[in-house]
Amino acid sequence: MKTIALILAGGSGVRLWPLSREHFPKQFLPLFENKSLLQHTFERLRLSFAPTDIIVVTGDSLSSLTAQQLPELPQDNIITEPFGRNTAAAIGLALIQLQHRISEEFVVAVFPSDHVITNARDFIATVSLAADTAAVTDGIIALGVQPTRPDTGLGYIQAFHNTPHDHDTFVYPMQTMHKVLTFAEKPDIETAIRFLNSGDFLWNTGIFCAKATILWKQYEELLPDHAHLLRLLQKHLDRDTYAHTLRTIYRQFRSISIDFGIMEKTRQSYVIEGEFDWSDIGSWDAMYQLAAKDTSDNAFEGEIVAVNVTNSFVRASKKVIALLDVDDLIVVEADDVLLICRNGHGQNIKELVDFLRRKNMKELL
């Protein structure tokens, strides 16, 4: 059974402000090896998928940038949203487009575009396992990884250690798959510590595989308002009325994630534990966790002068940044603004961006 890789590349990446902006969000930034997170995602998937079997969902204003960064990707494989309405809308839009194009049953494998994965071949082997499992079951197969620290910026999956075998439904490969008990989104630090110590929880990578028909049934059952609007939109595919109808439909979508709308409610979710190195670049805290550090636990990029500084992430671009007698900082220089915040508080940058938006400081967004 064919598997289609679906990359979600429409996020705004506000927690990586001030480098991530509305016109150039984080997934397009050359943060590692002079390539963007989106380019790294595409290159990983190319180990297993032909360009024709990779779809990218992104915003209208980002479609040209997507095509520029992914020259191998066919233009028709860029599906655009008029504006963001969270991942349930983005995945639903791609699903009806793909079902319109592909007559036979297929598996859809969903990937965020802002992850760092170092051992790509182990990753692809796990994805193939999840896709093969989805093809012979009625399950939604999520990918989880073992947590290495209590992180309040990530989602968690609690799994049963012993999944009952139902040989009429689940044929292959049962020994690697566990029934999901609960999904938990971004817990507080005490809860994250409890999750880590319990041994029952995996980090939720946001990657999952399911047959298209199974995923659509979940929309009908758990997100019926989305399903209704998507059915209306289906009638306008390949017609002159599509663009206008798409904008009208999108205004009516509730902004809800696929995790909250479906994954946390379905009884058909399973998880396969991956043994690949994975990081979600959701904040500057995550960048600090990934970065090489000196003996004072500092991670410096660019021209930095530091005396008596510890546990800090500092990224300079055009200016020399000098620090004296400070600890636990995140400092990021952009062309028009300098960010300074407490290390470990990177998730709160969204509040700062929301403040700028309320003040109508559009030039900084």
Residue spans per domain, the chain:
3-280, 285-364
User: Which superfamily does 3-280 belong to?
Assistant: Spore Coat Polysaccharide Biosynthesis Protein SpsA; Chain A (3.90.550.10)
Q: Identify whether the C-beta of residue 305 lies closer than 8 Å to the C-beta of residue 320.
A: yes
Q: Is 126 helix (H, G, I), strand (E, B) or coil?
A: helix
For residue 141, list its beta bridge partners: 209, 270
pLDDT in tens, 28-86: 999 988 899 999 999 999 999 999 999 999 999 999 999 999 999 999 999 999 999 99
140 C-beta neighbours (distance < 10 Å), count: 25
Pair 309, 320: CB distance under 8 Å: no
User: pTM score, two decimals?
Assistant: 0.92
Q: Which of 42, 202, 218 is nearest to 134 (CA)?
A: 218
Cβ neighbours of residue 238 under 8 Å, at least 6 residues apart? 100
Token output for 355: 């403040």
SS3 230: helix
Decide if 96 contacts 233 (C-beta within 8 A).
yes
Beta strands 78-81 and 54-59: pairing type?
A: parallel
Q: Is 168 helix (H, G, I), strand (E, B) or coil?
A: coil
Q: Which of 8, 26, 29, 24 is nearest to 16 (CA)?
A: 26
Torsion of CA 177, 179, 183, 188, to 10 degrees: -80
Tell me what pLDDT residue 33 has: 86
Residue 347: per-residue pLDDT: 86
- The pLDDT tens digits along the chain (365 residues) read 999 999 999 988 899 999 999 999 999 999 988 899 999 999 999 999 999 999 999 999 999 999 999 999 999 999 999 999 999 999 999 999 999 999 999 999 999 999 999 899 999 999 999 999 999 999 999 999 999 888 888 889 998 765 444 433 343 444 467 889 888 888 888 998 988 888 889 999 999 999 999 999 999 999 999 999 999 999 999 999 999 999 999 999 999 999 999 999 999 999 999 889 999 998 999 999 999 999 999 999 999 999 999 999 999 999 999 999 999 999 999 999 999 999 999 889 999 999 999 999 989 88
| Residue 90 to residue 88: CA distance in whole angstroms | 6
Q: Residue 296 is which amino acid?
A: S
Give 26's contacts (C-beta < 8 A, 6+ positions apart).
11, 13, 16, 19, 20, 37, 114, 281
